[in-house]
Amino acid sequence: MQIQVKCRCGEGKCPEWAIVELQGVVEAQSSFLDRLQNLEIGRLCRPSSQENYTFTVGYHELSGSKVPLKKPLLVLKKNRDLDPDQPNELNSSRVELEVIGIIRYRILFKTRPKALISKAQPVVKEKKAGEPNPDVSIK
Amino acid sequence: MEEPEAGCRGGAEAVLNLKPNSSISIAYHSLFGPHDDLILLELDEKLLPDILHNRVTVRGKPDEEAVLCTQSKTYALKFVGTSNSVFLIPPSNRSELNLNSDEGNGTVDDKPVVAPVIKVAPGNMEIVEVAPRIDKLKLLLSENPYRPEEEVEMEEKKDKEGLFRWDDLVNRVQASDEELMTGLRALSAVEIDGYWRIVDEKYMDIVLSMLLHNSVLNGWSLNALRENEVVGVLVADEFPCRIALHCLEMYGSKMDEDMGEDCLWKLDEKRVCLHFARGVLRGEKRKMESFMEEWMQKIPAGMQASFDMLEGEVLIERVGVETWVHAFSISSLPSNPAERFSVLFRERSKWEWKDLQPYIRNLRVPGLSSEGLLLKYTRKTQPTLDAEPVFSAR
């Protein structure tokens, strides 16, 4: 079969997505595991005019920088159009890959996290009342 | 509907354009999840225009490894996993994803700037240029070669199973459009009533013989055959018009086309001679002398056959004082290099370069030179410095 790769963005106008990448896995406390939605992971901070960044996750701080990708990444979305005549037949569905974005930069944290032991978290979070207290850590 | 304002609600642009001495909250999106329908594809910058102009497709059956095709090239698609956490952040106004559906009640000003993570990408797809998987084309078209009896049968049976239109081929063969067209030409396939066919070899032999016979009768020059005249005479002999024209396409080449409706064709000496050599050797080995004798008899007047024409088509064997030849055509060999060498070494365990070269010169592996191919699939031995090198299986 043939799957068409479609792009409806128009010439050079693909919306740009971003990647924040770190080594290891971010884990939420078990009470949040099945409802991660809206939970804060951490705070991304750009301390100077250079492209250096810190990412504070729970009581850990990561240092990293913004790096251009050697080759761009396209964000594709798999769309499945069911044939209206035979909606129950899997083979009759037409699949299309739609380009919905492009990624040219990532903010990469490749160092091990530094523990923020005695000081409080450097950035005060603005929280809405009733929002769960984010509790995440890097494993 | 509240239109999200760029920069206020965050998203990718807030991350990418983060001002010095400022910060942004990175949070799981309200629709955070595995989102298996979102795929990252790493692509060379130079292929982006093809993507933007919808010239790229993914081809393959569910049980095949998918390939990505541009107009002219084929690429294997590979998944590259990562153990890093890759947080994927969409721009703030992604209506297709129905993001930002969690608009709160507060005004824009008192909302925190958040960059929402829609998914953690387990890796991305990347592409590697590969040779087209074109052998399947021959397999498909060989199922039902075109035969003369068919003209009658086709009237009755409406069943077109085992016949393929261009779109059917595109759905089945993992090759780009250009590579598929090249493959069809290499097989001397012809489009008859919308279906791509190869014509039964023995039938083509009859058509060609009839064409040559008529050239003698009518005093035509094989270097300047008038299309209308040739096709007209063959059609009068009850050959279908498309087949008559195909005979000219297969064994000749069109000369300059400024003749208007009626163009001139020149028969190709090598292709015609090759056709008759194949006929003589069909299915059996022959002693060199008797082969040459029979072959020469079949060559039309005005053409010169020479043994060089059979490079990549026949192999010579020396048994004692006798020399035998048998058909071994490059067109019957697989295009995949590993399979090609395996068939070659089954035919012969040792090959001299001059014999081997004609059978591997059309192997095309992106990123691998012919020396590289030989190193990978053969063992080269050279008993003495001035001896011819010999290639055997690895």
> Among the three residues B73, B107, B130, which one is the final residue of a domain in this structure?
B130
Q: Is B26's CB within 8 Å of A55's CB?
A: yes
Q: Which two tokens stand for residue A25?
A: 């896995």
Q: Where are the domains positioned within chain A?
A: 4-121+133-138
Where residue A83 falls among pLDDT bands split at 50, 70, 90? low
Which of A17, A23, A48 faces B89 most closely, judged by CB atoms? A17
In 3D space, the residue among A104, A125, A100, A119 whose CA is nearest the CA of residue B24 turns out to be: A125
Which of A5, A21, A55 faces B58 most closely, judged by CB atoms? A5
Strand blocks (E) in chain B? 22-28, 38-42, 57-59, 67-69, 74-89, 114-117, 119-130, 190-192, 195-197, 225-226, 252-254, 264-267, 286-287, 314-319, 322-327, 350-352, 378-381, 390-393
pLDDT in the model for residue B387: 86
Residues B190 and B207 placed together within one structural domain of the fold: no
Where residue B366 falls among pLDDT bands split at 50, 70, 90? confident
B361 sits in the region (left: phi over 0; alpha: psi -120 to 50; else beta) called alpha
Q: How many CB atoms lie within 10 A of CB B341?
A: 25
Which of B61, B85, B171 faces A24 most closely, judged by CB atoms? B85
- Mean pLDDT of the B301-330 span: 94
Residue B242, in any domain of the structure:
yes
Where residue A90 falls among pLDDT bands split at 50, 70, 90? low
Residues B21 and B122 placed together within one structural domain of the fold: yes
Residues B99 and B173 placed together within one structural domain of the fold: no
pLDDT in the model for residue B102: 44
Residue B308, in any domain of the structure:
no
Query: Rounded CA gap, B100 and B116, in Å?
Result: 9
Say what the pTM is: 0.83
The answer for A 67-86 residues in CB contact with B (under 8 A) is 69, 71-79
Query: Rounded CA gap, B323 and B287, in Å?
Result: 6
pLDDT in the model for residue B9: 59
Under 8 Å CB-to-CB from B214, ≥6 apart: which residues?
B220, B230, B233, B234, B237
pLDDT in the model for residue A84: 60
Q: Is B28's CB within 8 Å of A38's CB?
A: yes
- Number of structural domains, chain B? 4
Where residue A82 falls among pLDDT bands split at 50, 70, 90? low
Query: Rounded CA gap, B214 and B35, in Å?
Result: 68
ipTM, two decimals, is 0.83
| Chain A residue with Cα closest to B18 | A46
> Among the three residues B147, B178, B197, which one is the final residue of a domain in this structure?
B197
Are B171 and A2 contacting, i.e. CB atoms less than 8 angstroms apart?
Answer: yes
pLDDT in the model for residue A133: 42
Which of B37, B121, B171 faces A77 most closely, judged by CB atoms? B37
Where residue B156 falls among pLDDT bands split at 50, 70, 90? low
> Among the three residues B130, B152, B187, which one is the final residue of a domain in this structure?
B130
Residue B250 has pLDDT above 80, yes or no: yes
Where residue A128 falls among pLDDT bands split at 50, 70, 90? very low
Least confidently predicted of A11-25, B126-140, B163-177, B262-276? A11-25
pLDDT in the model for residue B149: 79
Residues B145 and B184 placed together within one structural domain of the fold: yes
Least confidently predicted of B69-78, B226-235, B356-365? B356-365
Residues B110 and B142 placed together within one structural domain of the fold: no
Where residue B370 falls among pLDDT bands split at 50, 70, 90? confident
Residue B13 has pLDDT above 80, yes or no: yes
Least confidently predicted of A120-129, B267-276, B382-391? A120-129
% pLDDT > 70, chain B: 89
Top mean pLDDT of A44-48, B107-111, B381-385 is at A44-48
Q: For the segment B278-290, what is each residue's pLDDT rounded down to a tens digit?
A: 999 987 899 999 9
Q: Which two tokens stand for residue B246?
A: 């195909």
- Mean pLDDT of the B315-330 span: 94
Least confidently predicted of A123-132, B73-82, B143-152? A123-132
pLDDT in the model for residue B80: 96
In 3D space, the residue among B230, B239, B250, B236 whose CA is nearest the CA of residue B206 turns out to be: B239
Where residue A131 falls among pLDDT bands split at 50, 70, 90? very low
Residue B57 has pLDDT above 80, yes or no: yes
Residue B159, in any domain of the structure:
yes
pLDDT in the model for residue B260: 66
Residue B312, in any domain of the structure:
no
% pLDDT > 70, chain A: 77
Residues B33 and B113 placed together within one structural domain of the fold: yes
Q: For the segment B253-266, what is each residue's pLDDT rounded down to a tens digit?
A: 998 766 666 789 99
Q: Is A38's CB within 8 Å of B27's CB?
A: yes
Q: For the segment B85-140, what is each residue's pLDDT rounded down to a tens digit?
A: 999 999 987 554 544 444 443 344 445 679 999 999 999 999 999 999 999 999 99
Query: Rounded CA gap, A117 and B253, in Å?
Result: 83
pLDDT in the model for residue B152: 61
pLDDT in the model for residue A134: 52
pLDDT in the model for residue A95: 87
- Mean pLDDT of the B152-166 span: 72
Question: DSSP class of residue A111?
Answer: S
Where residue B8 falls among pLDDT bands split at 50, 70, 90? very low
- Mean pLDDT of the B209-234 span: 95
Where residue A119 falls among pLDDT bands split at 50, 70, 90? low
Q: Is A101's CB within 8 Å of B23's CB?
A: no
DSSP string, B241-281: HHHHHHHHHHHEEE--STTTTS-EEEE-HHHHHHHHHHHHH
Residue B313, in any domain of the structure:
no
Residues B107 and B38 placed together within one structural domain of the fold: yes
Residues B92 and B27 placed together within one structural domain of the fold: yes
Residue B293, in any domain of the structure:
no
pLDDT in the model for residue A112: 85
Give the number of beta-carbon pairs within 8 Å between A and B. Answer: 190
Residue ranges making up the domain that contains B208: 201-267
Residues B113 and B143 placed together within one structural domain of the fold: no
pLDDT in the model for residue B153: 61
